Amino acid sequence: MRYFFTIIFLVFISACKTEPNYGKDMNKLREKLGVPTIKENMVMMDEMTWSINNRNSKDGSFHAKKIIMYDRNCNSCSWEESDMFRKKINDSTYVQLNLHSVLNNDKVDFNRTKPLLFKVDIRALKVSVKGEIDNMLFGSDTSKRSIDYPSKIITMEQADSVLLSWNLKRL
């Protein structure tokens, strides 16, 4: 009977789909497609979020976060990545650039959600519940994100220019 359960367990394990690895191992594909990579100094916060604590002290600009969204039930499906870049203006205010990409094998679409440039007051983020922060930064609720600051949808060329002016680049 013991062997029976062992065999059943092994069959069950071998039948399970393995989840795709969307971490640093995918950086070569990201580079090929022009998608922001997961930087060496980024750490995995949870299954889908990579974040950085080391900031560029010279000018206060950094790739703050990468969020990876994928379908666990479909290894061959497309997946989406959102990247947040920030440049410090003063102790409480940052300019933020959000890039969103949809990847499918060897293709990428940056146009589903255009790059978004806006200012954000980190004091507002500190008082927010952690689960609401990503919604404020990437979600559709712009009322909480930057009440005093307008946001601007820009082109990928303009986004690259902004990153270059911050001494950063997508890759």
What are the residues whose beta carbons fall under 8 Å from the beta carbon of 8, sequence distance 6 or more? none
pLDDT at 55: 63
Cα distance between the two ends of the chain: 55
pLDDT at 148: 57
- Closest of 20, 22, 42, 18 to residue 30, by C-alpha: 22
Res 107 pLDDT > 70: yes
pTM of the predicted structure, to 2 decimals: 0.72
Q: Which residue has the tokens 């307008």?
A: 150
pLDDT at 162: 94
At 108-166, the pLDDT tens digits run 888 888 899 988 887 766 544 444 444 544 444 444 444 457 789 999 999 999 999 99
- Closest of 168, 146, 154 to residue 87, by C-alpha: 168
pLDDT at 65: 92
> What is the average pLDDT score of the chain?
76
pLDDT at 11: 40
Res 43 pLDDT > 80: yes
Note whether 119 and 96 are within 8 A (CB). Answer: yes
Handedness of CA 128, 131, 132, 136 (dihedral sign): positive
- Of the listed ranges 29-33, 70-74, 107-111, the least confidently predicted one is 70-74
Handedness of CA 120, 115, 27, 74 (dihedral sign): positive
Q: Which two tokens stand for residue 5?
A: 């359960």
What are the residues whose beta carbons fall under 8 Å from the beta carbon of 130, sequence distance 6 or more? none
Give domain limits for the chain. Answer: 21-165
